[in-house]
Amino acid sequence: MRTLDDRKIVVASHNKGKLAEIADLIAPFGFEAKSAAEYGLPEPEETGTTFEENAYIKAHAAASATGLPALSDDSGLMVDALGGDPGVYTANWAELADGTRDFQVAMERTQKLLDQKSAHTPQDRQGKFVSVICVAWPDGHAEYFRGEAQGTLVWPPRGTRGFGYDPMFQPAGHERTFGEMSAEEKHGWKPGQDEALSHRARAFQAFAREMLGAG
């Protein structure tokens, strides 16, 4: 496995909510991290059919443009009753005609489809969040780290914290949704502490353990 020789890295994302979460997770390791937006980089078209492919597209584009290692996350919600949808198209379900995104619309679409499947009990409304972190270098080399969080899709949505589908996702073993949790509760992990809770924190935990030697 290739390691990071220094602590300069590009976070290959323009998503403010995702950038905030990655910033919280990466802060303890002393990285000098700037986002792709800060470098003035355009958002590459995500044409992959897997989380790994899309994560690589974003990370390698940023690494190639800046000459620095780049870290990207591709994540999504997979609902069992919907055959794993929306999956890699999770953000697309929130897109409006003007190109902006409204995740309230995305959650309503998800609920409508679950209603059509008569998925009303918690057992029928199982799903998981998936996050794949890719660290890519300008020469094309890449390392991948995957995290998953199992849970139940609730309705109506609860909470105003987090972003995306967080208000309708209640992680397994918990009574509150991600939307009702603070960032610290949602991540559930810092170096030397307990196992992570969220999908992104679990992927980042694997990255930190394998590439940075963190506990």
- Helix (H) or strand (E) holding 130, with range, is strand 126-136
CA dihedral 150, 154, 159, 162 (to 10 degrees): 30
Q: 3-state DSSP helix/strand/coil percent for the chain, to nearest 5?
A: 40, 20, 40
What b/e sequence results for 53-87 when a residue is b if at least 16 CB atoms lie within 10 Å of its CB, and e otherwise? ebbbbbbbbbbbbbebbbbbbbbbbbbbbbeebbb
Q: What is the DSSP letter of 173?
A: T
Catalytic residue among 74, 80, 98, 102: 74
Annotation says 74 is catalytic: yes
Find, among 74, 66, 75, the residue nearest to 10 by Cα: 66
Pairing of strands 32-35, 8-11: parallel
- Cα–Cα distance for residue pair 150/166, rounded to 1 Å: 13
Annotated catalytic residues are: 74
